Structure 1
Amino acid sequence: MTITGNYLSLPYNPAAALKTLLFYNGEKLLLDVTERVDFCTPDRRVYFNCSRWKGMDIRIVCEAGNTVICDDCTALRNAAGKMLIGQSDYVPELPAHRAENRPFIHFMRERGWINDPNGPVYYKGRYHTFFQTNPVSREHRNMHWGHACSDDLFHWEVLPEALRPDENGEIFSGSAVVSGGKLILYYTAAGGITRLSQGKKFEICSAESKDGRTFTNFKYSIVPTGESRYSRDPKVVWCEEEQVFLMLVYRDESNYLLYSSENLASWRFEQLIELPEDSECPDIYKLYADGNTSRPFWIISGASDRYLIGRFERQYGDEGTKNTGAERIMFVPEQRAGRLHYGNASYAGQSFFGTPDGDIKRLTWLKTSPAHDLSAGQLSIPMQMSLVTGEDRMYLCAQPVKELERLYRRQERFVNTATGRGAEAKTQTLCVLPHSALDILISLPPAKKGTVSFSLFGCAVDIDFYRNTVECCGCTAPLRAGDGNSDIRMIVDRLSLELFIDGGKFYMSAETVCDYNLDHFTVSADRELVLPDIIIRELIPVAAGSPAEDADRMPDAEQPGAAHIALGIDIGSTTLSFDIVDIDTGCELESFTVPNDTSLEGRSYEKLYDVDRILEKVRTELELLTGGGKYPVPECIGITGQMHGIVYVDAGGKAISSLYSWMDGTGDVPREALGNKSAAQYLGELTGAQVATGMGLATLLSHTVSGEVPEGAAAVCTVADYIAMRLADRTRPYMHSSNAASLGAYDLRSGKFMTDALENAGIDCALLPEVTDGYKVIGQYRGIPLAAAIGDNQASFFASVKDPDGAVLVNIGTGSQISFMTSSFGSRPGMEVRPLAGGARIMVGSSLCGGRSLSMLESFFRDTVRLVSGAECGGAYSSIDRYLNEQLSRGGEEAFRHSLAVDTSFCGTREEPRRTGSVTGIVPENFTPEELIKGFFFGISEELKDLYIAGGGRKPKLLVIAGGAVRKSKYLRKVLERLFDCRAAIPACGEAAAYGSTVYAQVAAGLEPSPAIPQSKIIYK
């Protein structure tokens, strides 16, 4: 047979006996492979790459054991006269039904076998990974190095095999580095396994590439591996401290050989390292403990993820080095070996060389083998590694890479979920899960007793607080390394389940086949437990290519809204919210949140956030939401966010400080330069305005007099203004009056900052941004009009109040607010006038405690149970709600009768930060838990009613309810209705502030003439 095609098509049957095919050119043996070929009753066809032999005459001999079955298989034909071994220029595409057996987001070959990842590397702007593969069938033999590359670690382009078996043996594991502009592979030539390599031993070899695709300049036996015939799996890294390359090679048992080289050409043996309870596939990389660059450590791990943490030192050799008397580079462990992996699927993890951000990312092999499929084995979720100091030792931690967030499609969240005894049911269904890959984060309480179990797609994850364990698919891992809270992050895909436990200190993987008939996500417990937070994120499949090419999106003719949607963003303190609104109907098509986990450590009175990490998170979501995928390209983008706080930016618009948030206490610090007054007090007295700590100008003044304004500062702005500025590619912030007024010392009548007074105080007014009161587009993001950011209180008002005439908005979440339209410019005690837009104003009163009072009450009852019984009760919210709902079910005045008076200003007020709350009216008959509960609920509501009266409010026509605390509590809503003597309505939108920003943006972009039109489309439950 003359080879004319790229592939030989071979008859195959997975039930057939193994046979060896020997490929000859004349009398020269070119290669031998072992497969389950079947010339009589083939089940399918498999494909073998023969492109390197094009133009050659090939004879194929088939043997089984020592018996020759056929001395030239190329001549065999079936009953119809068709040749049994054919040729093809390509491998046929997979049948559509085969996709049902493939993972949604994990990398897996369409055909063939995968095991160890080899040589993950970043080269010429792309991520590359190689991997052990048998490209012919789904069994472990005929080892090649497969090759794939990616821009984002999830959408992989499969390339031709990089390394193929030859006369030196099959191609076993290794690594890759970049040096001198070349990509260099270090691999194991596994001699002696094939007929062609008989008599040869395992050797460490290398190959080079200048384009990342074609490899040449092969070198063999580059490292003397000593006595062991099977030394293998070279891992090469650059060691900055010693200015050398290091190579770690597996020798035998739990032993590894360390070599060094200054030029990648000559290698010197340094040390024998033992890694207890592990073997094969070493990995080595540097991490900084707790992110502190002054505490570098090196990690050495084996295929089963046991690991050592230590440093490299120059020492004189000892018996272990076999180089007595010579100075050597020695690895010195800092502590005993640790264990990362506790599952049954992950093996042979390898870190990337040369990542652009310097982070340590890695991949492992997941041992998956779906029945009746053409492939087996997949790569793990890409992980980011870190080193964390615990109570007794340092822990190597793994978490999914942040690039996974780009695949987030939508999410559901469950806060303070009560389960077990005392809940509505011992086993309860939280939701019906989408039939896709999922990223699930479960926050767990610091319980010491009890069990809780989660079930999804036929898999169970069992948590035992007694034994401090997590069990899944027959495997057991620790739940937490010390006392306190823990968490479990699950990456669920069609063929695998990966658990990252206690911040990633423990990793568990399991092969499973998700049964999508069992799509209810259930939780059960043996006692009452409150689960603080559960977040379920659906992930976009990657099989179709890029997120914008999502195969599951609706056809164009079915896309909701056809062409008219608005996108809203809310930069909150704990979450970043996104809302997609149909402009024509006002319907919220989708809303979701991602965590704002960017808080930073500072001084005791500071509350800081990393604004550029917030920006990165927003950009990640916008790339998906504005790409015309599931929904049309938005016609406008609105932004809102937490007010009052400030960030400093330079002349180019880049942040040069953290965000000093609305909770920051810098403005409350007494300063000697201000006569030992706080900046908030001093500025309030100077301007006559209501200025509180956390307001940006109080923070700015405090920094000014203490010399803490960052060098190079050109402007200050709120976090929402900063995000808007950067998205619009502006270099100076543009501020809406709703945000400007939140900074303090802002004159509503003139629409300007009180610059004369601010300059007298010493503030550089050149730092203040330009302000607008109107509806303003400040630029474009990917061609989409981007509106100025507005305050979150104003945005919530836009989203909630359908008819402003006579309506009052009550928002009770962590804090609480009350607001209504006003024609006044003058503030009242506890109430301040804030600009809305276009000259309109609202009167706003805020309680700093508000809904936090309920958390205090719940904590008090929980602590009481622990004090009295010595046991954890797991949470008291469900008991409180049950009691109040029982009161409502009885009807009549008795449900609301109470005699304890609770002042819920436990966190002070903006004007009186040190004010305290109180419980009064106590007599022997009313000092009961039931009276205290009612007192708290009435106290929260009465504080808002008092603010409303102080602000000049009259009997309202409608009470509009917003905020998680009041939405969840029917009793609290009824109390508010009684106190305000009017009915309550709840807006249907899930993320009010984000929704409201779209109302403002529609007007700013000229899509609507006034906010009254989009507000008229607001839907109440």
Structure 2
Amino acid sequence: MKTSGKIALTLCTFLLSHLLLTAGEVSLLIKKRYVNFPISHTQERKRMTFQVDGEPDLSIVIRLAPDEAAYWVFKDVSALKGKTLKITYEGNDKGLSKIYQSDEIEGQANLYKEQNRPQFHFTSRRGWINDPNGLIYHEGEYHLFYQHNPFERDWENMHWGHAVSKDLVHWTELPDALFPDHTGTMFSGSTVIDYHNTAGFNRGKTPAMVAAFTAASSDRQVQGIAYSLDRGRTFTKYAKNPVIDSKEKWNSVDTRDPKVFWYAPSNHWVMVLNERDGHSIYTSANLKDWKYESHTTGFWECPELFELPVDGDPKHTKWVMYGASGTYMTGNFDGKVFTPETGKYCYTTGSIYAAQTFTNIPATDGRRIQIGWGRINHPGMPFNGMMMMPTELTLRTTKDGIRLVSVPVREAEVLFTPIRTWHSLSSDEANRQLAEFYTADCLRIQTTIKLSHATDAGFNLFGQRIISYDMNSTTLNGRFYSPQDPTSMELSADIYIDRTSIEVFIDGGLYSYSMERRPDNNNKEGFHFWGNRVEVKELEVYAVNSIW
């Protein structure tokens, strides 16, 4: 009787949970918002496929934990409530029994409180992120799409993740927007609002948000489009994708990362596409049929092309073309051909990569706002990668000509509260004043240093060199940098220190760089100005508020 009772109880529990296990399969009648998956990096990646009510839905690879999980990831299934999700796994199927539904993700109680969670940079709740994609402003929201592997903290399974913000500072993560399909995984791209219904996707007075993306397979990288009628929450892929397949033209698999914008003077769409050794220009009347126009060599990945006024003068503008590495050219653009006039130059270095700018910023604002991927590790965390601070890009006339300038957006100021200010300190005095901040989790420091008897000077944090300025060789952290006054002995820096990263903006944004925060655990000096008889002319410290 006891054995029979146990069998009946087990069967009842089994049916009530709506979970059916067979060899390598599990089926869930979806009643909750999330399905949680245990992950272990001791396991090899194996194929996992999803079917919804018998129809193919998604295919990914995953390191499913058969025993103890290093961390958990999740799939948002809120759109599937009432449907049956069948999961098939080609690896050790012991881990299938650990998959479960919930209205919370595993670890929800500690979310955004983790030890190495950045406090004023966007990170995803779980998984790997890299390039920002589809940056656009629409109906009061800034949209941040991004390369996302929701199933692991390392790169794979490229989806488009999605987050929105009202102020560029506080972000709400939404369900993923684009998913891998039979054409490949979803590599980088851009979004536009098709106000004139050129593609025919609009519904009544609702303009479509159209995404242009790269579908990447082992054989080729092709360009597709998808449209959304619900403010980017869900997308429908165009049935006749791909809209560009140029592998044979370039004899290269490297054809990716479409940046699309409307060129009003000629009344057509422009796509800048990285192909083999540079950026190609394509044009289209309808976002579906594209014509190749021209090519500019010397760039790799993640193209950008936009117009900016010089020194704020709307009658004097230049076009800026750049690639993933932060090098750029300035010149002219006639809607089909970009003609470089100057460059290549570098305005930012370090951990930032694949930066993209927002489209559809209202004319009443007019700023060119950028977000870049931060190639920063977060040890021990169930997420990896981050977005750098949003910055405003401008063109400024300098002693060397017209240059691109990058400074944090004004909206970020709400996060930083000034708490200490000093003037005209020796380096030793400045170091003593900063001692109380040695254990600070996050901090912003603005400073101006003046060299005197030294040809080099700088600023460290527990042995890590944040600033290393060599006036004799005219280098800053190993890169050539010359102040606007070539005889100047001064250097100013605006330093943003988060839990895992450091961003530095030099001389009002004429040059910027970023790095992973890596203190020397054996170093006890904390914040430390160095250099013979260096004067710290200005020093201001700000407390930091969390965006979470």
TM-score by length of 2: 0.83
Aligned to 1:590: none
Aligned to 2:331: 310
Query: Do residues 280 (structure 1) and 314 (structure 2) align?
Result: no
SS in 2 for 1:168: coil
For structure 2, the 5+ residue unaligned runs are 1-26, 196-205
Aligned to 1:233: 257
SS in 1 for 2:114: helix
Percent identity over paired residues: 29
Deviation at 1:405, TM superposition (A): 1.5
* Matches of 2:141 and 2:402, distance apart in 1: 32
Query: Do residues 267 (structure 1) and 271 (structure 2) align?
Result: no
Deviation at 1:435, TM superposition (A): 2.2
* Matches of 1:459 and 1:291, distance apart in 2: 37
Aligned to 2:405: 397
Aligned to 1:532: 537
Deviation at 1:537, TM superposition (A): 2.0
SS in 2 for 1:118: strand
Aligned to 1:887: none
TM-score by length of 1: 0.46
Query: Do residues 192 (structure 1) and 207 (structure 2) align?
Result: no
* Matches of 2:534 and 2:98, distance apart in 1: 64
The within-5 A match list for 1:623-662 is none
Aligned to 1:103: 118
Deviations 1:768-809 (A, max 9, x none): xxxxxxxxxxxxxxxxxxxxxxxxxxxxxxxxxxxxxxxxxx
1:205/1:222 contact within 8 Å kept: yes
Aligned to 2:416: 408
Q: Classify 1:179/1:32 alpha carbon distance in 2 versus 1 (closer, same or farther; 3 Å).
A: closer
Deviation at 1:298, TM superposition (A): 0.8
Q: Which amino acid aligns with 1:4?
A: I
* Matches of 1:430 and 1:44, distance apart in 2: 37
Q: Which amino acid aligns with 2:165?
A: S
1:334 to 335, 341, 344: 341
1:522 to 517, 523, 528: 528
* Matches of 1:288 and 1:374, distance apart in 2: 42
Aligned to 1:417: 425
Query: Do residues 293 (structure 1) and 314 (structure 2) align?
Result: yes
Deviation at 1:365, TM superposition (A): 0.5
* Matches of 2:501 and 2:156, distance apart in 1: 23
Deviations 1:195-223 (A, max 9, x none): xxxx7753332323343423236352223
Q: Classify 1:536/1:41 alpha carbon distance in 2 versus 1 (closer, same or farther; 3 Å).
A: closer
* Matches of 1:93 and 1:442, distance apart in 2: 40
* Matches of 1:45 and 1:310, distance apart in 2: 48
Please report the RMSD computed on the Cα atoms of aligned residues, expressed in angstroms.
Answer: 2.9
2:347/2:404 contact within 8 Å kept: yes
Query: Do residues 85 (structure 1) and 105 (structure 2) align?
Result: no
Aligned to 1:160: 175
1:360 to 359, 368, 383: 368
Deviation at 1:495, TM superposition (A): 0.9
Deviation at 1:353, TM superposition (A): 0.9
Q: Classify 1:77/1:54 alpha carbon distance in 2 versus 1 (closer, same or farther; 3 Å).
A: same
* Matches of 1:490 and 1:306, distance apart in 2: 22
1:182/1:210 contact within 8 Å kept: no
Q: Which amino acid aligns with 2:213?
A: T
Query: Do residues 113 (structure 1) and 128 (structure 2) align?
Result: yes
Deviations 1:35-69 (A, max 9, x none): 21121443343323345555555554433xxxxx4
1:418/1:529 contact within 8 Å kept: yes
1:495/1:514 contact within 8 Å kept: no
2:73 to 46, 54, 57: 46
2:29/2:82 contact within 8 Å kept: yes
For structure 1, the 5+ residue unaligned runs are 64-68, 194-198, 315-328, 544-1021
1:149/1:158 contact within 8 Å kept: yes
* Matches of 2:54 and 2:143, distance apart in 1: 38
Deviation at 1:401, TM superposition (A): 0.8
2:447 to 442, 445, 460: 442
* Matches of 1:186 and 1:428, distance apart in 2: 53
1:437/1:541 contact within 8 Å kept: no
Aligned to 1:350: 356
Aligned to 2:507: 502
Q: Classify 1:243/1:187 alpha carbon distance in 2 versus 1 (closer, same or farther; 3 Å).
A: closer
Deviations 1:346-367 (A, max 9, x none): 1100001122311011100001
2:190/2:213 contact within 8 Å kept: no
Deviation at 1:497, TM superposition (A): 0.6
Size of the aligned set, in residue pairs, is 499
* Matches of 2:528 and 2:222, distance apart in 1: 51
* Matches of 1:411 and 1:365, distance apart in 2: 30
Deviation at 1:402, TM superposition (A): 1.1
Aligned to 1:630: none
SS in 1 for 2:104: coil
Q: Classify 1:20/1:159 alpha carbon distance in 2 versus 1 (closer, same or farther; 3 Å).
A: same
2:162/2:173 contact within 8 Å kept: yes
Q: Which amino acid aligns with 1:407?
A: L
Aligned to 1:454: 459
Aligned to 1:9: 36
SS in 2 for 1:295: strand
Query: Do residues 244 (structure 1) and 256 (structure 2) align?
Result: no
Query: Do residues 432 (structure 1) and 436 (structure 2) align?
Result: yes
Deviation at 1:27, TM superposition (A): 8.4
Structure with higher RCO (Cα < 8 A, 6+ apart): 2
Deviation at 1:258, TM superposition (A): 0.5
Aligned to 2:10: none
2:129/2:385 contact within 8 Å kept: yes
Aligned to 2:190: 175
Q: Which amino acid aligns with 2:483?
A: R
Aligned to 1:939: none
* Matches of 1:392 and 1:232, distance apart in 2: 33
Q: Classify 1:457/1:537 alpha carbon distance in 2 versus 1 (closer, same or farther; 3 Å).
A: farther
2:380 to 372, 376, 386: 372
Deviations 1:305-339 (A, max 9, x none): 1111011137xxxxxxxxxxxxxx21111112111
SS in 1 for 2:509: coil
2:148/2:160 contact within 8 Å kept: yes
The within-5 A match list for 1:754-793 is none
